[in-house]
Amino acid sequence: MTKKIQAVLYSAGVFRHYYGYNYFQDAVLLAVENPERLQSIRKEIYLPIAKEYHTTITNVERNLRTVRDALIKNGGIETLESLMGCSMWYGKKPYPKDLISIFADYLSEQSKTS
């Protein structure tokens, strides 16, 4: 599943050198494991990641926004639309929580068809 996340991120121009890359990958895996974690994202996703990487929740959130911004800047909207199967909302940046949810939903569907 990690390879699928990497492939999608790479296709959207987001590479390992971005702060937040590993946080994003881990966040998606946690959301795939239990989608209800997205309802309490700070406690159920950001906190475990912060503990694992010996950082703060604030740093996790900020670095996830870095991934989001890189994805948008590098033309990743088309990638997100492909994952969702519909058009994105324009004029607004998606929250990191939204991106995590989009990736988690996509990966969950992929694992069902594999």
**Tens digit of pLDDT for each residue in 15-54?**
899 889 999 999 999 999 999 999 999 999 999 999 999 9
Quote the mean pLDDT of the chain.
Answer: 87
Burial 5-25 (b: 16+ CB within 10 A, else e): beebbeebebeeebebbebbb
Q: How far apart (Å, rounded) are the C-alpha atoms in residues 62 and 56?
A: 10
DSSP label at 55?
Answer: -
What are the structural domains of the chain?
2-113 (1.10.10.10)
List, as one string, the DSSP characters of 24-50. HHHHHHHHHH-GGGGGGHIIIIIHHHH
R_g over Cα of the chain: 13
pTM: 0.88
pLDDT in tens, 71-87: 888 777 777 777 776 66
